[in-house]
A and B are shown apart, each in its own frame.
Chain A
């Protein structure tokens, strides 16, 4: 058998497995031909955009550059750089030759959008497998063309060549440039985060990585600082009008009378009113704003739906749970262990509703033309918005194209998906493309909220001072009262105001750690929303959904137990965590921060200004993070300054260390803000946190002077997420530092100056 024949057989085997009509004719005995082998791998017309096609993820352009089609998107942490690095690595092309195209429903499959810190963990995994398969196929094509075995070939910068004879070569551009891969992937049949469709190729051994692991810079920075980036707010199409939505002053009220005469002086202004859906459009944006302000509306006499804010936590305590779940690994018999305990330590913690309060209120543009719907949206989940638009416009999904366009940062299920749905309803009603941007009071007052909750923790201690049992229960509003995306009208304000049948989901969570106690139970309970329809307190995902709540409680409690037993907080954790990677992050943070071993609280301070340190740690879907807060407190006014934060972070393999470091810094500052300041205020009628004065966040003058991030790289461990894990221990680290400084335990977030001052007095 000649080399050539061997190759032919190799190709034919590949082709046979590739499936499709063309392959059948090639496989017929005696008719094999090399030109057509090329054709089998590469076709002129793009195969269907389905997850079982390589072409749905990777294309080589005519000039040899690579397009990576990604069904997730970057919300500002540089995910696209990391994905580009993964693709460049596996394909052996220069990083600069890869363009990652994100979240366009016409060019990508539904990989789940921005969701749960899975950009690299799930999305990157798929892109790695797709790129590896593309390289394998390109090498096979080159082997055919060059008449050598694929094992003789290597790839340098997108050129396949004979190892030791670089003149014998074929570039990716020559092999397939401008055509499409016709290669079948082994899709697991799932959409969203779990979508996985590997080919036959094995990805590289991490020890051979050259691009992955490098601190490659983001290419979106310069356009942003030179004002050349088009945000979703900046998209305009011919014939476009501006829309604004009108919300009731008493949540739950519906319009009963709308006086269109009240805006007749405003040129082009029109009212769109259907059931409780009420909006205006006008040719000019300022006119739309004025019309929304001036429109006279008579509202139904709805009973004020909310309890007094001061009794929120009593409401949660007393409410009948709608669902209870015992989650995680239950160990031993907790109830029996408490009966024989020498000592029981108990505490309860409280966390308020919080708002995404994105920098800009959500904006979306919808154009409906010849039955085709185009939507520009800053959503985290364009494919799900596509489903939502199809449902609310009653058109097949094939008619809907969502173009993800960067918007203000979202941090979860913010108001973006609601805006897309509102724009669609308005566009259909007025027959023109409609751009909706909410006003600030709607961005803060009417976004889906991070749920309020209470958390009860108990520990049983034996006579020797060992923790023998641990019982942890969260009770609160659901993280999915409305779901994490706008794919169902009942999860959006448009659907809810139009009167669709409601479906409130139940979900919460448990502490993620590896404390090894002989008896352990972790559980949660969810309660119904305070208002079932179109509520400004409907709850959903806010960065690291329910993670900050749960770990504020669980990691404050570990500190309380350590202090009660007169044990150093780091030493206590190291005594009980059983996972070596958990122990490693705790040790790394303590070492970097210069942690001195001693029990809390400090006993060597007097005077009005005191300082302290606190540690907290958590896992999140494979990632481990430990952090130490060092705080200064002024007893006279209750002001806390988190002077220094030290973070140790292990997310397995690091794709881009700068990206991880900056993401962690952002999470720490966001987390400090949520801990010290953020609480959605409401009265009986509605949410009263409607701007930056009524929903204050951390100011630059309160920013830590130093955030140290220790990155622990494990190239041999598949990467897990970095987007959110460092959000969850922030509040507990601060609470523990406040206790260390003052001996006072604050169990309710936020630690606003008034609350701290009264706790200290």
Chain B
């Protein structure tokens, strides 16, 4: 049975009526027409669907609507804008990281949460923080360059 939900996404509240078992991903994409994040696996194995829930990265493809509650959701579109970019977005543009770009939600949203907690991380810490995320185009080296650059920008 469908239920009514109130979702706080990127600072705006949206009403959604849907199956409580439906993963948040489909509400964001189809009910709210937010074209990011992406469906990659539906299994929390790749990160393409990553959003922040109260500042922490979650995999929206396995997070049922019923589990979201009144948490604050931020998507990649809400993380920063061309006028007010997040340092990771700036670094990604400067390093020209993505090839196809389908995976960027996972890397940027995960790295953003990591860098907000961890100042001046080592290379090994950056790698460890991002383990498990997938990029099929093999842009890993550029990702590491960009996260390092963003970390420097964030002091």
Which residues of A approach B to under 8 Å, CB–CB? 75-78, 217-218, 220-222, 224-231, 233-234, 236, 284-286, 357-361, 406-409, 411, 437, 439-440, 658, 662, 665-671, 673, 691-693, 697-701, 703-705, 707
Contact = CB atoms under 8 A, between A and B. Distances in A.
7 contacts: A75-B100, A220-B101, A228-B77, A411-B136, A665-B138, A666-B139, A701-B127
Contacts of A225: 76, 88-89, 92-93, 97-98, 101, 104, 108
B144 interface: yes
Interface in B121-155: 123, 127-128, 130-144
B127 A359 contact: no
B137 A226 contact: no
Given A227-B35, A411-B136, A693-B45, 11 more contacts: A217-B96, A221-B101, A226-B80, A236-B33, A358-B102, A409-B100, A439-B42, A673-B138, A692-B41, A699-B132, A700-B133
Interface of B: 18-19, 22-23, 26, 29-30, 33-36, 38-43, 45-46, 48, 75-77, 80-82, 85, 88-89, 92-93, 96-105, 108, 123, 127-128, 130-144
Contact of A440 (B43, B92, B132, B136): B43
Contacts of B137: 76, 359, 409, 666, 670
A75 B33 CA distance: 25
Given A221-B92, A692-B45, A700-B144, A227 B138 contact: no
A675 to B, nearest CB: 12
A662 B96 contact: yes
B96 to A, nearest CB: 5
B143 to A, nearest CB: 7
A359 B97 contact: no
- What DSSP secondary structure best describes chain A's contact surface? loop
Given A225-B89, A360-B39, A693-B45, A76 B100 contact: yes
Contacts of B77: 226-228
Contacts of B97: 221, 225
A77 B99 contact: yes
Contact of A359 (B48, B81, B141): B48
B136 A409 contact: yes
A408 B104 CA distance: 11
A226 B85 contact: yes
Contact of A409 (B29, B43, B99, B144): B99
B101 A662 contact: no
Contact of B35 (A218, A221, A234, A699): A234
Contacts of A230: 35
A439 B76 CA distance: 23
A667 B45 CA distance: 23
B5 to A, nearest CB: 13
Contact of B136 (A221, A226, A233, A358): A358
Given A77-B99, A221-B92, A359 B46 contact: yes
Given A76-B99, A408-B100, A691 B41 contact: yes
Given A218-B96, A700-B143, A285 B136 contact: no
Given A691-B41, A691-B45, A693-B45, A224 B98 contact: yes
A703 B89 contact: no
B22 to A, nearest CB: 5
B75 A670 contact: no
B40 A286 contact: no
